[in-house]
Structure 1
């Protein structure tokens, strides 16, 4: 079973994602960015889904911290955001893909599958 980390500070969204993905993937939901690289490195995910803001931290800063850990540097990630310039933000962070909020669960499943299948790099 593939492992996914979902980093989201909104408890309602986190709960929906947990229900949507929890039976398909081994899922870790983190609602803050405190010692995030350490928490994630113990889980060793195959994919990271991250909201653009985790509390006061931007996803770009959180991803930079995560990618500094050698064993996490190649883990793909998908940026999730309601920002109107999500495409630009995703490019600037070198995200493997992005998903604009609000999104349909079918779109979430599709983008995850595409990243896992290597159709999006």
Structure 2
């Protein structure tokens, strides 16, 4: 099974995403980004699903940190957020895709399948 790391500081959203994906993927929730590199090392996901704001940190800073390590540089990530400029932020940080909150589970599944190359 493919592994997805969900970086989301809203516990309820993280739990909902985990429950929605758990039948098809191995899912790990990270509620804060201070130990993102350790989580990547321990879990080595096939995809990162990341909110734009994680506590005091923003996705561009977190992505720079991740991409500074050769081992994790090519892990695709999906940015998801209610930020009004989510599309621009996703483009600026070279996200594989983005989802504007609120999103449907159908959109979530479709996005993940597309990024992971699982669509028929």
TM-score after normalising by structure 2 = 0.95
Q: Determine the structure 2 residue equivalent to 1:65.
A: 65
Quick check: 1:41 aligned with 2:41?
Answer: yes
1:89 matched to 2:89: yes
> In 2 relative to 1, CA 118–63 (structure 1 residues): closer, same or farther, beyond 3 Å?
farther
Shift of 1:71: 1.0
**Equivalent runs, 1:1-121 vs 2, <5 Å:** 1-117=1-117
Q: For 2:14 and 2:45, how far apart are their aligned partners in 1?
A: 17
Gaps of 5+ in 1: none
RMSD of equivalent CA atoms: 1.2
Runs of 4+ in structure 1 off by over 2 angstroms are: none
TM-score by length of 1: 0.94
